Structure 1
Amino acid sequence: MSLNDPIKQKPADDSPDWRAFFDETIVPFWNTKVQSAYFKTEDGLTLHYAFYKHSADAPLVVISPGRIESALKYQELFWELAQYGLSVAAIDHRGQGLSDRLTSNPHQGHVEDFNDFVRDFALFSSELKTLFGGVPKTLFSHSMGGTIATLYCANYQHSYRSLILSAPMFSIETGGVPYWLAKLVVCVGARVNRWFARPWYFLGMKNYQRLAFDDNVLTQSPARYDAFRDGYDAQPELQLGGPTFNWLFEAIKASEAAQNVVNEIRIPVTLFRAGSDQVVSKTGQLAVAAKATEERFTLRTIEGAYHELMMEKDEFRAPLLRTIVEQTLPLLQQSQDPCEQ
């Protein structure tokens, strides 16, 4: 960011002052300026979203979070974008955050059909049109949210001006197990599970638990990791454990489908790959990049970064934040100076 950056007063994440700034500046902003709202899905669920409206004509950054995430996890990004004069909104996908859960165990990460996520996002986008009007919009998405955003942008009419993908889930990390074998286990397990009334966790998965920082594979920033975990400890209703067999089955299908639609997306797409990602596989991301024939597609790799790019150290996080701002600030000028377009 430039020397005129409006967030330059925020301490570096490795500074002892970062957590105090988060608690004394960002959390109060969230509690007083960010609002909660709800909408109904086609199948009758109630979904939550959070939003900050900077002004009537401010461009809007819309966030499609990853699995286990809630809007609360993006408190820092909400505050940062607000300093640039931007509005922000983030959905809690079905089955997580403050949205309705899908099994009798609220810790299970579950979905019946991955396309439900995509249909929900289409309804969410309609909600935002009512709330924010026709302001220019940028779509930022992470991990599972990237799969949702990709399928949405490829298959629905929309008014987003650009799509930014953060470590998108375009293939599943199998931990050294051959992909075909992992897929077979998931498919067979999901099929058997459908004979029973209650979804099962995938092998080895369990309810939410707070892992020690040294055991996490999400971020290398202790300060951001602790802020995230402390937030989920303070609001246990946000906690989500491992995925079910059916979630993984649907995620595999959706990831494979998302690899084949990049050229159906008619807006600029920037894909950020985390170079040291241990959560999603690079295979699908590179496959998407190889299939992209449009000049509006860009692949960027942040070497050394873990999966949660917006929760990472400043050095890994900065390129992503810079791209969100740079792609959205021109929209601010357009919305304020329509006669000069």
Structure 2
Amino acid sequence: MEMHPAPFHHDVAEGPENGTAHWLTTTDGVRIRISHWRAPSEKGTVLLFPGRTEYVEKYGRTAEAFAKRGYAMVAIDWRGQGLADRLLEDRSSGFVENFDDYQTDIAAVLSALEALDLPKPYFLVAHSMGGAIGLRALMAGLPVNAAMFSAPMWGILMSAVMRPAAWAMSWTSKRAGFGHKHTPGTKAETYVLAEPFKDNTLTHDEDMFRYMQKQMQTYPDMALGGPSMHWLHEALKDTRELAGMASPDMPCLTFLGDQEQIVDPSAIHSRMANWPKGELVLVENAEHEVLMELPATREAIHDQTAAFFDKYLDRA
């Protein structure tokens, strides 16, 4: 795997000072970016699969939290977001040709892990859209010892009336050549700059909200707006396929805020009720970004996740 130095914005990441970024080129020719952070005393490495719109610097504080608990961490800019190659001329429109393409990104990351000599075993932490990508990767044999999901996108929250309309609208737009257009009700401007902290659907922690705003204001090239109609169609298709597949034989811990308004809680409850080695933790007074909630909440989640991973350091 060829790697080349990539920009990494330490000033807004606020993670361990040893954070480093690299460009990787996938087998289908897309350039993506990864960042990794080392820990003073390492038990293993966390593979951080971010959600839609996200970028590696957003998880600098998360890397610091895991480093204190003995874990190195790697995060990824998926194709179409962060500083990875954008797939449309309109950089603000979230797009992927096919959700399976994200698995190609993962293959590049796994090759890089070997080249970087990051400590094994590996563990998965996957948020929102990264939860859908990560679940499919686990089903395909992702080499991790255990997994943690944060508000995984195993379904998209919408009313029973809106769901068939969303299917029809996204499919029609794709066929008519308008798949690149933003979905109705979303904006070209990234969420944390388009919406005020009050009544936001991400976090109750104003400091964390300002942290995300500063990143977007300082480095606007990393920003991404609403999803495209094509992305919506691919996401609906992918989550429907996943819903019909059995959970993998993998220890799993999933956190879900009790005020979730973005992904579908019913899909998460259904999946976890039928995951033999899975545990669902409902987080009180939490929204979508449980890893970026109020300090006491996120510290408890980091503690619980690290303790969970510690149990599977020697998993065969």
User: Is the shorter-chain TM-score for this pair beyond 0.5, marking a shared fold?
Assistant: yes
Q: Which residue does 1:199 correspond to in 2? A: 180
Aligned counterparts of 1:261 and 1:127: Cα–Cα separation in 2: 29
Query: 2:123 is matched with which residue: 116, 127, 138?
Result: 138
Q: Which residue does 1:14 correspond to in 2? A: none
Q: Which residue does 2:271 correspond to in 1? A: 288
Query: 1:236 is matched with which residue: 211, 216, 220?
Result: 220
Name the count of aligned residue pairs.
Answer: 304
| Change beyond 3 A, Cα 1:72–1:127 | same
2:67 is paired with a residue whose SS is helix
Note the residue ranges of structure 2 that are not aligned, 5 or more in a row.
1-9
% of aligned pairs identical?
A: 27
Question: C-alpha displacement at 1:244, in angstroms?
Answer: 0.4
Structure index of larger Rg: 1
Aligned counterparts of 2:288 and 2:128: Cα–Cα separation in 1: 8
Q: Which has the higher helix share?
A: 1
Aligned counterparts of 2:312 and 2:38: Cα–Cα separation in 1: 15
Contact persistence 1:62–1:90 (CA under 8 A): yes
| Change beyond 3 A, Cα 1:128–1:306 | same
Encode CA deviations 1:222-243: one digit per residue, 9 max, x unaligned. 0111011111111111100000
Aligned counterparts of 1:97 and 1:103: Cα–Cα separation in 2: 13
Question: C-alpha displacement at 1:331, in angstroms?
Answer: 5.8
Q: Which residue does 2:89 correspond to in 1? A: 104
Query: 1:279 is matched with which residue: 262, 266, 282?
Result: 262
Q: Which residue does 1:269 correspond to in 2? A: 252
Aligned counterparts of 2:148 and 2:270: Cα–Cα separation in 1: 17
Q: Which residue does 1:17 correspond to in 2? A: none
Q: Which residue does 1:321 correspond to in 2? A: 302
| 1:253 has 2:237 as partner | yes
Q: Which residue does 1:163 correspond to in 2? A: 147
Aligned counterparts of 1:235 and 1:97: Cα–Cα separation in 2: 10
Contact persistence 1:26–1:79 (CA under 8 A): no
1:273 is paired with a residue whose SS is strand
Note the residue ranges of structure 1 that are not aligned, 5 or more in a row.
1-22, 336-340
1:114 is paired with a residue whose SS is coil
Q: Which residue does 1:18 correspond to in 2? A: none
Q: Which residue does 1:221 correspond to in 2? A: 205
Q: Which residue does 1:306 correspond to in 2? A: 287
| Change beyond 3 A, Cα 1:133–1:63 | closer
* Aligned-residue CA RMSD (Å): 2.5
Contact persistence 2:72–2:119 (CA under 8 A): no
Question: C-alpha displacement at 1:24, in angstroms?
Answer: 9.5
| Change beyond 3 A, Cα 1:288–1:76 | same
Aligned counterparts of 1:52 and 1:103: Cα–Cα separation in 2: 30
TM-score (norm 1): 0.82
Q: Look up the equivalent residue of 2:87 and give its one-letter code.
A: L
Aligned counterparts of 1:141 and 1:115: Cα–Cα separation in 2: 16
1:105 is paired with a residue whose SS is coil
Aligned counterparts of 1:262 and 1:272: Cα–Cα separation in 2: 20
| Change beyond 3 A, Cα 1:185–1:128 | same
Aligned counterparts of 2:173 and 2:241: Cα–Cα separation in 1: 21
